[in-house]
Structure 1
Amino acid sequence: MSVKNPYYDPSKSHHTPQGFINPEKEPRANGDLKRWRKERKQQGFPHPPANGYQHFIEHWWQAADFSGTEDRLWFLGHACLLLRIAGRYVLTDPVFSERASPLTFYGPRRKTPPTVTVANLPPIDYVVISHNHYDHLDKPTIVSLLRRFPDIVFMVPLGMRPWLKRQGAQKIEELDWWDQREMAGISFHAVPARHWSMRTPWDRNRSLWCGWVVKHQAFSFFFSGDSGYSDQFSHIGERLGPFDIAAIPIGAYAPRWFMHLHHMDPQQAVQVFKEAQCRRAVPIHWGVFELADESLDEPPKELARAIAEDGLSKEKFAPLKIGQHISL
């Protein structure tokens, strides 16, 4: 069999000659996707938020305020965050388009508006990408960012350089799990995640997926990207923690029997908070796109229940409004 993966390293359990895999076993039965879609259609999922979409927006959305100079973290919706550290700006998984889709007329549509446009962003130094799914890697957003900030440095997992070069990116750092780069006193570490990649029917798992750790002096930030639960989080905490602030996904988990392999639920997010040695966390991967069966307002409610059951202080893992920031 010819080697199609130019990064292939047989000593690494997540590498294959054709691409990449999760080291964990994934016992998914044939027909699971068809079963989920059938059940989803029969039950009319996803249901709207309890009091409707407009009420959800009024309660969970605000305009982003980028004033000041102190270190901050903004939640810009779904998996997009903006980190201001040491006067530099780090943007994660930016998606500002109307749909998370290759098509403008079909695919998951935003239920909450973008809290910012590329034109309103402060000067972005680094864009950190976790993987190539459309709700994390959006071509129009990337192209707009490059038009305004042509010197952006992209930090990406293996296999994503060719796509970014086609969009006009010139500065691309491509990392494998546990690789690191240091730039202007800020270090970026690619860390394991349990997920997958695909943008077309022909490139499934040809590029890698990952989380990221960003460090500057004594400060440490963990962005888990998109991931199912895995014992990898305890290894991340042991090797690179503890973390002053973490971004941990809590959405797209229902039904759990189908989604658990690649998305964690709020109970597992609380477990990750502890295992990865996080001092504080912001929940992500919720509030924008309806990618699974739970309603938009269910993840923060379920997180509150999980925190209460665990005895964790709710202040340590509290949802932010889309557009809200916290000081670091």
Structure 2
Amino acid sequence: MTQQPRSTTSTSTSVKDTDAPPVTPPSTPSDPPLAEPRPLAEHRVWPRTFHDRLTAPLPGLKSFARFAREGAVRPGPEGLADIPRLPYAPGRPPRVDAGTTAVTWAGHASWVVNIGGLTVLTDPVWSRRILGTPARVTPVGVPWSALPRVDAVVISHNHYDHLDAPTLRRLPRDTPVFVPAGLGRWFHRRRFTRVTELDWWEAAELDGVRFDFVPAHHWSKRSLTDTCRTLWGGWVLTGPDGRRLYFAGDTGYGHWFARIGRRYPGIDLALLPIGAYDPRWWLSDVHCDPEEAVRAAQDVGARRMAPMHWGTFVLSAEPVLEPLTRVRAAWQRAGLPREHLWDLPVGGSRVLE
């Protein structure tokens, strides 16, 4: 979850989608070539803090005072009344071959990604409740027992709604895990043996699938004393066939999206957050609203967009269904093909031919 704000309907069955012409930003001389993959699970030494990576200052006393006076952290009764209408269609990940890319939304930022023959989990949270927020309002969309063998896990940052210890304890300790710089120690303490830490723009490779760690407009914190001690970011996964998927993690809107699009042209699908944005004065630096998420999809040159980070945990004050209605409207206003907005229910899947 966001520890402190600003700092602190399809079906679940597989739906095959046709290819669309790529929309990619032009490259510029300022963008260097992609980094060579680093060795898996290598020992790294990191700086004590990543405060210099912040793209907005953390809130000070004045911000906290204003939030105490006027900030709302939960929707009112009308905003919560739509909880029974949240799209929920539990299912199993589709069975696909090694040449097919597919995604299944388990809820929040947790996806089951099939790419290059691997099953990859993003920010897996299968717990009913996380620290500091009410229990999830939609159950997990994919039963743990329905998962195939998990070949890898990617983590975007260490907030509790993205890094869930009870869920990770369910995994074999030799599961390959890809994490931001500085977060390896957390996994090593829990006896994970194949942990690869990366800085922004670095990459590693597992069985032909490339994992690139890319910047995000966010921050990190898990306790009272570790603010920005570990890095945060998103992941670009590229399969052996060139299929490319961007998992943004948790992020506000900003300049990094265009940079990512230039360095990784031809993104087939962008998994982008659309929720936890109100009040805007408090959260705009670290969480996209739906309109910004659509702009971000265009900035990275993604052929398709799948919204996430909404309809699972109530983390902020917007009505629970508002992110979905607003992202659909923003997509339509942008003149983008409706079939390229993969607004899945929790538990829904889509397959890329």
Please, what TM-score do these two structures have when normalized by structure 2?
Answer: 0.81
Q: 1:19 to 1:68 in 2, by over 3 A?
A: closer
SS of 2:224's equivalent in the other structure is: coil
SS of 1:291's equivalent in the other structure is: coil
Paired with 1:145 and 1:200, the residues of 2 have a C-alpha distance of 24
SS of 2:168's equivalent in the other structure is: helix
Paired with 2:77 and 2:350, the residues of 1 have a C-alpha distance of 31
For the 8 Å contact 2:270–2:302, the answer to whether it is kept is yes
Q: Does 1:172 align with 2:195?
A: yes
For the 8 Å contact 2:93–2:112, the answer to whether it is kept is no
Q: 1:143 to 1:238 in 2, by over 3 A?
A: same
Q: Does 1:283 align with 2:307?
A: yes
Which of residues 171, 181, 187 is equivalent to 1:158? 181
SS of 1:73's equivalent in the other structure is: strand
Paired with 2:297 and 2:235, the residues of 1 have a C-alpha distance of 15
Deviation at 1:167, TM superposition (A): 1.7
Q: Which has the higher contact order (CA 8 A, sep 6+)?
A: 2
| Identical residues among aligned pairs (%) | 35
- Within 5 Å, which residues of 2 pair with 1:101-250? 101=131, 107-146=133-172, 150-216=173-239, 217-250=241-274
Q: 1:140 to 1:31 in 2, by over 3 A?
A: same
SS of 1:164's equivalent in the other structure is: helix
- Within 5 Å, which residues of 2 pair with 1:67-82? 67-70=94-97, 71=100, 72-82=102-112
Please, what TM-score do these two structures have when normalized by structure 1?
Answer: 0.87
* 2:114 partner letter: R
**Deviation readout 1:63-95 (Å, 9 max, x if unpaired):** 122342243111111001111123210100001
Q: 1:7 to 1:259 in 2, by over 3 A?
A: same
Match of 2:115 in 1: 85
Q: 1:124 to 1:36 in 2, by over 3 A?
A: same
* 1:189 partner letter: D
Match of 1:63 in 2: 90
Structure 1: 5+ residue stretches without partners: 9-16
Structure 2: 5+ residue stretches without partners: 1-43
Paired with 1:252 and 1:203, the residues of 2 have a C-alpha distance of 23
Q: 1:152 to 1:259 in 2, by over 3 A?
A: same
Match of 1:315 in 2: 339
Q: 1:237 to 1:219 in 2, by over 3 A?
A: same
**Could you say what the CA RMSD is over the residues aligned between the two structures, in angstroms?**
2.0
SS of 1:226's equivalent in the other structure is: coil
Q: 1:44 to 1:85 in 2, by over 3 A?
A: closer
Task: Give the total of aligned pairs.
Answer: 305
Paired with 2:79 and 2:133, the residues of 1 have a C-alpha distance of 20
